[in-house]
Structure 1
Amino acid sequence: MSHPHRPIDILLSPATLIGVVLAGEALAALLALSPAPVDDRLVLFGLASLGIQWATLGTLALVHLLRPLLGRLKPQPLAWACLGLLLVTTLLMAAASWKLMSFRHAPGDHEGTLFVLRALALALVAGLLVLLAFQNHWRVRQLALRAKQAELDALQARIHPHFLFNTLNTGAALVHQQPQKAEQLLLDLADLFRAALTDSRQVPLHEEVELARRYIDIEQLRFGARMQVEWTLPDTLPAVAVPILSIQPLVENAIHHGVEPSPGPCRLQIAIQPEAGGVRITVSNDLPAPMASSIHRGHSVGLQALRARVQMMGGDVHTQAADGRYQASLRMPAA
């Protein structure tokens, strides 16, 4: 998977901020509608809303200030730490509020203590409910991410055998006629499968380009002069991380749509263009006349898995066929 957010990132997200404000207003409304005898419920709602928002937003402000420390915590310790900060903030807010009110009413000390204790009890109950909701949200999120990753791994596993069979057939054809090329093919194949079986989910762009070159060298042995490859690269490749084996499916797709069905030479172009905030990788090929209006779907599994992996890193994959050309474009954001 791409880069799942840390618990602290979710806690400080705009969605969480909006949810906290709305939940605070709902709690203030419940307090205002309680059966306790009060003269003006709107005033009670306003005071409760003010106190709750000061406490909750003050807590989030402290969490933001302590982000370097809290960011290292796992979900459960982080939730308890935030609950502790909420209680501290509530204690300070309640004590300050009582001091501001006491100059008019001059109540006894025991009333101020009860006021602070009631505020702390309310904050504790509300905080525990939020803590449970946060932990449940995080658990569901992690389960969804694991399920998605398992789905992607299954899709990737369906791609590898197809490529392996084609490569071994090519190697078998070269063993007796061109043994040196057959040896190089097996070395390139070993490098590709080493990359496919690694635990790493992403690699620097320059390493991915090298893997794509090895794949093209293998396919060049199959098609010879029919496959004409043109690279367009910047002087310096952007320092961008991409999903491992992400260019190879685009090239495989171009070969399937262009080189394989073409009776003559087929031009395959690979371009890497730095863009604001990322990089775009484009692979295009000539379409034979019979395929210009009808694209085969035999390799859709490869593109489907690639698109899912790229989208999980914040990018996307687009394909189109127009003017006798088939084009697949992959865009990745900068890290």
Structure 2
Amino acid sequence: MPTQPTNASANDPARDGTLLPAALPAFCTARVILITLALGVALSLLLSLVPGVAEERWSRFGTTLWLVTWIALVTVALLCATRRWLQHLPLTGLLAAVVLLLLGVTAVSSAVAFSALQSVGWESSETVTRFVLHNLAIALVVGLLGIWVFSLHLANARQINAAAEAELSALHARIRPHFLFNSLNTVAELIHERPEAAEQAVLDLSRVFRAALAADERVSLAEEIELARRYLDLEHWRLGERLHVDWQLPEPLPEIRLPVLTIQPLVENAVRHSIECQQSAGAIRIECQVGQRSISLVIENDLVPGKRDKGDGNGMALANIADRLALVFGEAASLRAGPVDGRFRVKLVIPHDGGTT
């Protein structure tokens, strides 16, 4: 699932001449290295099964595997080291750079391997030049096949991204009216109970809803926190001393971007399904925990038996927030909700700097 683009122009590689960052694999990961090694074994086995080498088939397999492994690992290491530069190239330039890098590594590795094999008594029927050219031809074919597979991957990524953007827009269209109607209900209650506070509440609502409408589809964590603060200020007019909020936030807040209206609906759920359902005062705790590769956001409130329902009531369904996080971050993000030590806790885990949990 694509995780970085924030608007249509950033989503389409054809518009800015570059690839989606998510389209270029993170070559340093263990998964990519294992796949590379597996493909190297498969290629070596294929080359050793050609007709005419029955007597030295396994010797050829071992030698080829040794050479292919070195070429593959060095190429992956160089792609890993140059990934930030490569992903800014136009698509044709990127593919050409990758193929040239593969051919360069193949040429150097083949020349070194030829010399090393001869030093241990290997007798070749061809010169070093023909040996290198032979391996370059194989590398070129493999590289072109890789480009074809990569083009299929990129086309699939574009289709997934377009579908995700459409679904994300549909979810936003459902969230914003819901947010407005619940806030208007709050103002309506204030008009009858505290007319003197109604005017200020309307101004608070105006600021909150302006932020919700004016924001891009992805906003900074600071903007989301500010939106939640304004919503709680609005609820304070109605609930008074019954509502206590414990903010546990680092200074400064992490520089991450997340879908708009991610935190505020969870805070709204906490108010609607906890504070409103008890006569005594209740506390909501909002905490941000910063890790090396992820950010954890915790919203916790008093647990009222029988009152918490993920798909009913005024609060937005937790499943909708989980869906939006999945559309933006894929499997790197998660949402967990449930009772913990007599309180209801919702925990969001969002990748930081492209990491995963």
Q: Same fold (TM over 0.5)?
A: yes
Given residue 323 of structure 2, which amino acid in structure 1 is its aligned partner?
A
Which consecutive unaligned segments of at least 5 residues does structure 2 have? 6-20
1:159-181 CA distance string (max 9 Å, x none): 22122123234445656986764
Task: Find the structure with the greater CA-based Rg.
Answer: 1
Do structure 1's residue 224 and structure 2's residue 235 form an aligned pair? no
Query: 5 Å matches for 1:235-254?
Result: 236=251, 238-241=253-256, 243=258, 244-254=260-270
1-side partners of 2:250 and 2:104: how far apart? 56
Question: Which amino acid is 1:295 matched to?
Answer: R
Equivalent residues in 2 for 1:182-261, closer than 5 Å? 182-197=198-213, 198-205=215-222, 207-221=223-237, 223-225=238-240, 227-234=242-249, 236=251, 238-241=253-256, 243=258, 244-261=260-277
Pick one of 300, 303, 325 that aligns with 1:283: 300
- The residue that corresponds to 1:51 in the other structure is 67
Match of 1:267 in 2: 282
Give the whole-Å Cα distance in 2 for the aligned partners of 1:49 and 1:105.
16
Per the normalisation by structure 2, the TM-score is 0.76
User: What do residues 151-203 of structure 1 show as CA deviations (whole Å, max 9, x unaligned)?
Assistant: 23322321221221232344456569867644433433333333333225131
Amino acid across the alignment from 2:270 = A
Q: Which of 337, 341, 348 does residue 319 from structure 1 map onto?
A: 337
> CA separation of 1:65/1:250 partners in 2, compared to 1, >3 Å: closer, same or farther?
closer
Change (3 A) 1:107 1:320: closer
1:141 is aligned to 157
Cross-structure match for 1:298:
312
Give secondary structure in 2 for the equivalent of 1:184.
helix
Is 1:25–2:11 an aligned residue pair?
no
- Counterpart contact for 1:267–1:286, Cα < 8 Å: no
Unmatched runs of 5 consecutive residues or more in structure 1: none
Question: Residues 218, 101 of structure 1: CA spacing in aligned structure 2 closer, same or farther, 3 A cutoff?
Answer: closer
Name the SS for the 1:36 alignment partner: coil
Separation in 1, partners of 2:37, 2:73: 8
Matches of 2:182 and 2:124, distance apart in 1:
88
- Local SS of the residue matching 1:229: strand
| Equivalent position to 1:162, from 178, 188, 213 | 178
**Percent of pairs identical after alignment?**
31
Task: Give the distance between the partners of 2:147 and 2:234, measured in 1 at CA.
Answer: 55
2:15 paired residue number: none
Task: State the alpha-carbon separation in 1 of the partners of residues 269 and 248 from structure 2.
Answer: 20
Corresponding letter in the other structure for 1:239: P
Number of residue pairs aligned between Structure 1 and Structure 2: 327
- Post-superposition shift, 1:310? 4.1
> Pick from 38, 49, 57: which aligns with 1:41?
57
The residue type equivalent to 1:153 in the other structure is S
Q: TM-score, normalised by structure 1?
A: 0.81
CA gap of 1:265–1:70, structure 2 versus 1, over 3 A, is same
1:129 paired with 2:145, answer: yes
Describe the SS at the equivalent of 2:89.
Answer: coil
